[in-house]
Amino acid sequence: MATSLRSRALARVRAVIGADAASIRQGLAALLVSSGGDLLAGLTLGAITHTLETLPGLLVLVPAAIGMRGNIFGALGSRLGTMIHTGTFQVSRRSDTEVGQNILASLALTLSISLALAVLAKAVAVGFGLGHTITVTDFVVISVVGGAVSSIFVLGLTLAVASGAVRFGWDMDNVAAPLVTAAGDIVTLPSLFLATYLVGIHVVSAVLALATSALCIAVLVAALRAGYATLNRILRESLPVLLVAGLIDVVAGLTIEKRLESFVAFPGLLVLIPPFLEDTGALGGILSSRLASKLHLGTLEPLAVPGPAALGDFVLTFLYAVPVFVLVAVSSDIAATVAGLATPGVGRMIAVSLIGGFAATAIAVVIAYYGAIATFRLGLDPDNHGIPLITSSMDLVGAFALILAIVLVGLT
């Protein structure tokens, strides 16, 4: 029986690799590039432990802020991928085009959700008894300013990747999620850190918080009243799921904040956090994008029990996970050592990454599949909901899985 099951499993793996070799190479390359890029975010996080200690509560905001870039622009990439598959993608400067309305929606969501995250971070920190934290004014300045600056870069990258996909024949579903979410991680952390220099200046911070809050609300209202059908649909469908995603990310940040002492003892583990969380989200994002495209194209039935088309994508996701989480651990250990940050050793870093990574990936598969078919059955666009749902869920699940792996490996 065991031999038969093993034979069937190996046969399915060979079938997936043989049928989709090009997609596997593209997706794995994107994941490896994004993991390497996320080391910069990890090193930034490991290097600002003093800032995290002097601005209590800031770490609650960090996963939500970096995750929201991936949620918003990962969803944008997923929608652009569907346009490419259906032959409707065309870059234009006109705001009334499909691409133009998608860009406007992403910018409006960036500002409004950044404001909401600031309020959520303060409320959750106080509600869960975190103790003394920075003020809501400080949260607003850091979140909105840092988020707006980073979003400019991530938007440009998303459009560049879509154009590259059309020109070079890449599958947008395989490359967008890891590259866009990695870019969000890389640029958001430095942007947030730079924004911290604007807080603590009483009058300036208060005026800046009021001005940015008014701007965020005004932009959202203007976008909703613009009269563009696609823009309006994206905003109305995305706002609720992004708010829920933001709340989940804030709780993920709270989970890590409460274990700050463990990470301060081994700053190398802080280096691991961004690439680890990004890769759990990127793996789920690739799966979610592939499922969404297949649902739109009619090649995947929204069944309660996954069929062969979905099972092949599940196998592909786990095939990606093995090299990705090993590389994340090894590269984080090397980068931390070079930067002079203490680590628990490469062996235990690999153990933490693999244990936590496989646990998170298993849950990602379930969330991505049932999230996609649920939204599709409800008549909603899975491209709008899949990426935010999976990446925010993976931030929380990934944070818990990472903490659990650290405990199991004996690092607390």
Q: Which residues make Cβ contacts (< 8 Å) with residue 274, sequence separation at least 6?
A: 38, 41, 42, 45, 66, 185, 189
Chain-centre distance for alpha carbon 196: 22
pLDDT greater than 90 at residue 119: yes
CA distance 150 to 341: 26
Q: Measured on CA atoms in the order 202, 192, 158, 315, is the torsion positive or negative?
A: negative
Percentage with pLDDT > 90 across the chain:
20
Q: Which residue has the tokens 């933001």?
A: 246
* Lowest mean pLDDT across 220-224, 236-240, 251-255: 251-255
pLDDT tens by residue, 368-403: 888 888 888 888 777 777 667 777 778 788 888 988
List Cα–Cα distances, 287 to 27, 149, 173, 366, in angstroms: 10, 29, 8, 10
308, with CB counted inside 10 A (0-12, 13-18, 19+), is exposed
pTM of the model: 0.70
Q: Are 255 and 403 in contact (CB under 8 A)?
A: yes
| Higher-pLDDT residue of 281, 155 | 155
pLDDT greater than 70 at residue 4: no
pLDDT greater than 90 at residue 145: yes
Q: Which two tokens stand for residue 19?
A: 């049928």
129, with CB counted inside 10 A (0-12, 13-18, 19+), is exposed
